A and B are shown apart, each in its own frame.
Chain A
Amino acid sequence: MTGALSGYLQEQSGHLLEYTTCLRAAARVHADEPDVATLTEKFAKECERQAERVNAMSPAAALDSSIQQFAPAGLLRDLKELCVLGTRLEIGWIALEQAAQGARDKELLELSSSARTEIDDQIKWFRTRLKASAPQALLVS
């Protein structure tokens, strides 16, 4: 593994950790929105499994943990924030999938492709929920 690829994995691991922390915080803050709480918790578990595999591949990756604090700002803003953090991860997985192909690294290829699909599904849900919530949040609340 090149230093650049290893560094990129390390960065992806940091993003995963940050995203997972925010997902967990959202699950706590939005306990009264059962769908949000259940799914953010589920997504957090998925991301933890992704992180375990990244860290197994590049042990240095686990070290980076410069995490921003998640500041809850109402459901609509939180959904947007999670969507943005998820999108950053998804783009990261796209880059890693490309590199895995170039490196003929089957393990990384499988991880990055399945992880990207997983994150993409998560983002789709945030978009769905945000689209349903926005009018009520911005017009009536």
Chain B
Amino acid sequence: MIDRIREPWGARTPYGQGEHWPERVDEHLFPGVEHAQVERWVPSVCVLCSHGCGVEIAVSGNRIVGVRGRAGDRTNHGRLGPKGLYGWQANNAADRLTTPLIRRDGTLQACDWETAMNAVAARTKQQLSEKGPLSIGFYTSGQLFLEEYYTLAVIGKAGIGTPHMDGNTRLCTATAAAALKESFGTDGQPGSYTDIDFADTFFHVGSNLAEQQTVMWMHCLDRLAGPNPPKLIVIDPRPSPAARIADVHLANKPGTNLALLNALLHEIIRNGWIDREYIDLHTIGFAEIERTVADYSPKHASSICDVPAADISRAAEMIGTSQRLLSTVLQGVYQSNQATASAVQVNNLHLIRGMLGKPGCGLFQMNGQPTAQNTRETGADGDLPGFRNWANPKHIEELAQLWKVDPLVIPHWSPPTHAMQIWRYAEQGSIGMLWISATNPAVSLPELARIRRILSNERLFVVVQDAFMTETAEYADVVLPAAIWGEKTGTFTNIDRTVHISEQAVSPPGEAKSDLDIFLEFARAMDFRNRDGEPLIPWHDAQGAFEAWKACSKGRPCDYSGLTYDALRAGGIQWPCTSEAPHGTERIYTNGVFNTNAEYCETYGNDLRTGAAFEAKERRALNPEGRAILRAAHYEPGPEQPDAARPFIFSTGRTLYQFHTRTKTARAPELNRAAPDAWVEISAEDAQAYGICEGDILRVESARGWIEAPARISGIRRGVVFAPFHYGYFDKASDDAKHRAANELTRTAWDPVSKQPFYKHCAASVTRVSARAGPAPAPDLTASAPAAALAGVRS
């Protein structure tokens, strides 16, 4: 059996365009466990990225003992990535939270559920009576199940009536949603994974599939290894595995994506590589983008982005002459300067080439987390359920009727408050209670010293609902122990709209409860009622929540009304699934009709430059009549530029073997050994100039904080240093361990439209602190590969 740490994408199963992607079943059982010992295989879905691989959980003696891919699943055809193969071991970790905790005399002490829930309900009631619903905030996740999010959304929006609910999805996929809404009228991924089978060109924009969606990359790799392989174009300042084998790799300066994308569109329009008929019939605004991109010749963009003009022209020609273009966009765009404007340019590219809704023409505004799509669909983030428009009174009326509440109870004077603003209100004290579920802001938000300051303020009552004692949970007033994947049943949706059911395989440890049960218990404790005096939330289990959600989604783009748990038990189904399309829908927008009309759209749009909201009358005047909206913006430099004191651009990101803040992956020995500690990537040129050798301890410092970590001399572009954001300090004893968290350095600042924070560029200085024997603990097969190892690949 091959070592999937050393060979993360496994063996190739090459195939040609239009053929069926061959099955390959990946499996891992705990060492020493034999097949015969597995009592049952329970169908589920992997939760360690957004791809949503079908998996079966091996159970023996009420313990998870392994996993294998489901050969018949449409997403993965049996494959699993390293995180999927090994990450489940976190379920069995000895340090799972098994009882509620409550802060007494300054320390967290075990208590029973009644005590914990009474404390939470009492504080909620106190906030409501003293300061009202706007004094309560919720910060959730991209890790819960659909049923849990929807229940939370109803509690927040109709029970308490606060606009302050968002997810950590704000940090990862807010720009995907914002860009889809701007171009197509509502959220909703247009593509299907089968587009990989048909594409003739792959275009990865700030999207490191090979490390983040490893199985999607296996899918791409198998096409690349087959006959007539697709062309591959990659935009990334680091030499990611895809960039290293790309036909064109554009390693642009961080913060300049928009100039580069504008130049690509400039070349494509100038050369006439556009579908004029599609543009005329199905879009509005072509003149605006034509005018805007006219200024961005490859030469001009080259001077901004610091990539060769000839490479820009070559990439544009490959994209422009492709017949079936598949694009993926992720954090390199979403967490960078002018995020939404840049992501929208990739939508524009597909629109002006008429490449949407057809096999091979996949557009993926990717998500990072497994259930981020559901946070957005159900309105547990800065959205309303069913992609409804907060500014459209009819949409609010629909929700009010569904929930039997007064429309005025549902906050809709503005979009639901974005996470960065929720934290600001908590900082200022107007939010006095913050309920954090399944996320670890003490490591993942920007400017961590500030986040610690906010969390430790005694006036803020902090509820943390998690499976582990995270860095964030340390600050809680009440900790609620949560069941996780494999310990509860529910559904979630991946980036090609495939809805899966994930079944409970084992019992939760100790007294841990599913997030759904916790929310339902809170609703009971608060006795939320509708206007008829009935319980606001009438459901008692996941299936009941799912049925309620089906009614809420009916008639909206993410229509689940034709789905049932039974149907899902036969395999994943892509929404919309209705009585007219009972088997789901492989691609949306196949007829070139979009969700942009004023009555149906999720937003009337925003100024890409400032984020100012357009109003209903402006959308009506635009009269889109179902056409997509082409919008463009000029490049503007990011607000924090390097200077003499801080000459480097500091960027954060991820590595293949870890997920988020390592809450799960650090507890999977194979994964943690592969990337055990933090590092800082620096180019060979900069290392030489600063007298830095591989493994030397570097201090990287921004205006907000500093970290110290060993140097990895990598193929990153000159002038940029990079650190993975995964590493907090829950597994480190000393207080100094805080200074390995990349977010000590990052800025509290965000994209004007999507409100997604900038993690990919701030100014920093680099100092060599000391020498160290041996190389940095950075993986060497990934974007952090040593420069010396890359020399051979590139020549």
Chain A positions within 8 Å of B, measured between CB atoms, are 32-35, 38-39, 42, 121-122, 124-125, 127-128, 131-132, 134-136, 139-141
Contact = CB atoms under 8 A, between A and B. Distances in A.
A132 B108 CA distance: 36
Contact of A35 (B134, B609, B614, B752): B752
A134 B750 CA distance: 21
Contact of A125 (B134, B429, B612, B636): B612
Given A121-B610, A124-B607, A125-B611, A140 B414 contact: no
Given A121-B609, A125-B611, A127-B612, A140 B749 contact: no
Contact of A132 (B131, B415, B609): B415
Contacts of B413: 131-132, 134-135
B424 interface: yes
A141 B426 CA distance: 11
A136 B417 CA distance: 11
Given A35-B752, A39-B752, A140 B607 contact: no
Contacts of A140: 131-132, 134-135, 425, 430-431
Interface in B374-397: none
B749 A128 contact: no
Given A124-B607, A135-B411, A139-B134, 18 more contacts: A34-B749, A34-B750, A35-B752, A38-B749, A39-B752, A121-B610, A124-B612, A125-B610, A125-B611, A125-B612, A127-B612, A128-B611, A131-B413, A131-B414, A132-B414, A135-B413, A136-B430, A140-B430
Nearest to B446: A34
A38 B639 contact: yes
B611 A132 contact: no
A119 to B, nearest CB: 12
A136 B134 contact: yes
A31 to B, nearest CB: 10
5 contacts: A32-B424, A42-B636, A132-B414, A140-B132, A140-B431
B795 interface: no
Contacts, number: 62
Interface string B529-557: 00000000000000000000000000000
Contacts of B752: 35, 39
B672 interface: no
Contacts of A128: 414, 611-613
B734 interface: no
Contacts of B612: 121, 124-125, 127-128
Contact of B425 (A35, A42, A136): A136
Interface of A: prevailing SS = helix
A124 B611 CA distance: 9
B154 to A, nearest CB: 21
A33 B639 contact: no
A35 B750 contact: yes
Given A38-B749, A131-B413, A132-B414, A122 B610 contact: yes
B748 A39 contact: no
Nearest to B427: A32
B417 A121 contact: no
A121 B611 CA distance: 10
Interface string B430-448: 1100000000000000000
Interface string B734-764: 0000000000000111101000000000000
B129 interface: no
B428 interface: yes
A119 B220 CA distance: 47
A39 B610 contact: yes
B126 to A, nearest CB: 14
Nearest to B430: A140
Contacts of A139: 132, 134
A34 B762 CA distance: 14
A135 B747 CA distance: 27
Contacts of B424: 32-33
Contacts of B131: 140
A124 B607 CA distance: 9
Contacts of A131: 413-414
Contacts of B749: 34-35, 38
Interface string B175-219: 000000000000000000000000000000000000000000000
B167 to A, nearest CB: 18
Nearest to A38: B639
Contacts of A121: 607, 609-610, 612
Interface string B614-646: 100000000000000000000010010000000
B697 to A, nearest CB: 32
Interface string B341-369: 00000000000000000000000000000
Contacts of B414: 128, 131-132
Contacts of A35: 611, 749-750, 752
Q: Which of A124, A131, A134 is the most central at the interface, judged by chain B CB atoms within 10 Å of its CB?
A: A124
B629 to A, nearest CB: 17
B748 A34 contact: yes
Contacts of B610: 39, 121-122, 124-125
Contacts of A132: 413-415, 417, 421
Contacts of A124: 607, 610, 612-614
A104 B415 CA distance: 44
A33 B748 CA distance: 9
Interface string B210-232: 00000000000000000000000
A122 B752 CA distance: 13
Contacts of B609: 121
B437 to A, nearest CB: 22
A97 to B, nearest CB: 20
A38 B637 CA distance: 12
Nearest to B755: A35
Interface string B231-256: 00000000000000000000000000
Contacts of B639: 38
B458 to A, nearest CB: 18
Interface string B154-180: 000000000100000000000000000
Interface string B599-613: 000000001011111
Contacts of B636: 42
A38 B747 CA distance: 13
B430 A125 contact: no
B794 to A, nearest CB: 38
Nearest to B134: A140
A122 B131 CA distance: 33
Contacts of A125: 607, 610-612
What 9 A-B pairs come out closest when comparing CB atoms? A124-B612, A125-B612, A132-B414, A140-B430, A125-B610, A34-B749, A128-B613, A140-B134, A128-B612
A122 B749 CA distance: 19
Contacts of A42: 636
A33 to B, nearest CB: 7
Nearest to A137: B430
A141 B134 CA distance: 10
Contacts of B428: 141
Contacts of A127: 612
B639 to A, nearest CB: 5
Contacts of B614: 124
A35 B756 CA distance: 12
